[in-house]
Structure 1
Amino acid sequence: MPNLKRALGCLLATCVVLLTWAVSPAYAFDNPELLPDVETPIIDLADTLTSIQEQQLIANLDQLEAETGYKLRVLTQFDRTPGRAVKEFWHLDDKSVLLIADSRGGNLLGFNVGDAVYNLMPRTFWIELQTRYGNQFFVRDNGEDQSILQSLESVETCLRQGGCQVVPGLPREQWILTLITSALGGIVCGFAAQPRDGKVFAWQWALIFSPLWGILFIAFGIGPVVTRTSDWLPLARNILAFAIGALAAYLTPIINHSASDAT
């Protein structure tokens, strides 16, 4: 009986080890054997980029380093990674940015940023960059390759112009959000300015509510647009949305009063 229990215990332990080995990815934290034999700014272990994309990207990264002195390096991985060995391979320093693309996490992109680069682009920039291009919806609609290429394009643009506080460009989803907040700000302003106490325009109430509609319109409606794009069209649309919302809210009691008088 003891021998049977011992045999069952050994069998169970063996099964656990085999299952663990079968489902665990071959992940190495420091595996220089995965590094290429030649110097290259891209290590595409996950085969995310096509050969043409990789060649064009290598040329862009080399040109950027020659012009600005900043290094951009790309590592894609899935079940294999060289880990910390890339630091010595690429001689990463304070003027380096390492993009790590790994589809096993909730967000495809990760960034290892040098201190000198943080002086040009703060941590909030990298959080926004990761959120915009690395989220699962963007990757699903555009592909992992475009997630990498477009995020690097934003970084290159900012390094060439001496830094950025926010990620350049205004995605349609973000613009729609600014449009909605602009309209809401107009509604609040128009509601506050409705005729009261015999006054055609209650500017005192509009002034009292100005922190609310000002935040909605200026901080959330105008600010994200002017800091991310020089295109005047989304700005004009947001201003128009504010005006329409304010006018609609302001005229609502007048229209209702006229309708009740007519009946």
Structure 2
Amino acid sequence: MTTSVHGLSTPSNPSRRHILKSAPLVVTSSLAWGVASKSASARLEPVERPDLLPTSPGQKVIAAGVPILTSGQQKRATSIIDRIESKTGIRIRLLTQNYPVTPGLAIKDYWNLDKGNYVVMVVDDFGGKSNLLNFNVSDDLELTMPSIYFSRVAGKFGNLFYVKNSGKDQAIFDALESMEVCLIEEGFCKDPGTGQGGFK
């Protein structure tokens, strides 16, 4: 299935992966690299704003627009991401944005998304009109984390009801912790599990 990211156009039935490769940056479910998913037919203009990227390389959590996470929460998210990467080699990256305030396609070069195993989680609810969580996933991860897994994570933790009751920050951490359990404790999974923290 193809989706588009901030400012990228995608097929009428877009896939998250396609979006990552061809769109700016809205990732998955409507986000996938710049364009989003207000509706299957909605098309947002592509965005490419390297000026919104950090001046120093290697930052794994990037906030564009109104920040969702505090500086302390960003450090916590980075810590979870570091644990996953050190134990699995899979790069998890987190972008919070407020389309059209997004680096869009420029993020691909910054995070070197042309190679390796990675998951980019883009957080943007498009003014409360869309699922909060969107994912861009490398093709090589299919055997470990099938696309249905990310659909379920987005559906479980990113839906409007969950976000309203738990908050955007908690939705982000629940999704990250679900991925951590999936990759490190389970080794393979198709479902984010049950309970607020996924498998917990």
> Normalised by the size of structure 1, how large is the TM-score?
0.53
- The one-character-per-residue Cα deviations of 1:39-78 (angstroms, maximum 9, x if unpaired) are 2101112300011111111122123212210000000111
Identity across the alignment (%):
34
Say whether the 8 Å CA contact 1:95–1:114 is kept in structure 2.
yes
Aligned to 1:37: 55
Conserved 8 A contact 2:181-2:199: no
1:4-41 per-residue CA deviation (whole Å, 9 max, x = no partner) reads: xxxxxxxxxxxxxxxxxxxxxxx761111110012210
Quick check: 1:94–1:113 contact (8 Å CA) kept in 2? no
Q: State the match for 2:104 in structure 1.
A: 83
- Is 1:64 matched up with 2:64? no
Q: CA RMSD in A?
A: 2.1
Q: Distance in 2 between matches of 1:106 and 1:62?
A: 29
Structure 1: distance between partners of 2:149 and 2:116: 17
Distance 2:73 2:157 in 1: 17
For the 8 Å contact 1:94–1:117, the answer to whether it is kept is no
Q: Per chain length, whose mean CA-contact separation is higher, i.e. which structure has more relative contact order (CA < 8 Å, sep 6+)?
A: 2
1:117 pairs with 136, 141, 164, which one? 141
> Are residues 229 and 148 of structure 1, via their aligned partners in 2, closer, same or farther at CA, if it must alter by over 3 Å?
closer
* Matches of 2:79 and 2:111, distance apart in 1: 16
2: distance between equivalents of 1:152 and 1:136? 18
* Structure holding more helix per residue: 1
CA contact (8 A) 1:28 1:82 kept: no
CA distance, structure 2, for counterparts of residue 170 and residue 102 of structure 1: 23
Matched, 1:99 2:124: no
CA contact (8 A) 2:178 2:199 kept: no
Matched residues in 1 for 2:76 and 2:124: separation?
21
> Shift in Å at residue 94 of structure 1?
4.2
Corresponding residue SS for 1:166: coil
| TM-score normalised by L of structure 2 | 0.69
After superposition, the Cα gap between the structure-2 partners of 1:106 and 1:34, relative to the gap in structure 1 and judged at 3 Å, is: same
- Residue 169 of structure 1 aligns to a residue whose secondary structure is coil
Q: Look up the SS of the partner of 2:140 in the other structure.
A: helix
Deviations 1:195-225 (A, max 9, x none): xxxxxxxxxxxxxxxxxxxxxxxxxxxxxxx
Structure-2 separation of matches of 1:36 and 1:146? 24
- Counterpart of 2:92 in 1: which secondary structure? strand
Which of structures 1 and 2 has the bigger CA Rg?
1
Given that 1:100 and 1:110 are in contact with CA atoms closer than 8 Å, whether structure 2 keeps it comes out as yes
- Residue 52 of structure 1 aligns to which amino acid in structure 2? G
The answer on 1:108 being equivalent to 2:136 is: no
Which structure 1 residue ranges, 4+ long, deviate > 6 Å from structure 2?
Answer: none
**Pairs within 5 Å for 1:134-153:** 134-153=158-177
Please, which of 135, 141, 151 is the counterpart of residue 127 of structure 1?
151
Structure 2: how far apart are the matches of 1:143 and 1:229? 19
- Unpaired stretches in structure 1, ≥5 consecutive residues: 1-26, 172-227, 231-263
Query: Does structure 2 retain, via aligned residues, the 8 Å contact 1:120–1:163?
Result: yes
Name structure 2 gaps, 5 residues minimum.
1-44
Distance 1:229 1:149 in 2: 13
Distance change (3 Å), C-alpha of 1:94 and 1:114: farther
Q: Structure 1 residue 167 and structure 2 residue 192: aligned?
A: yes
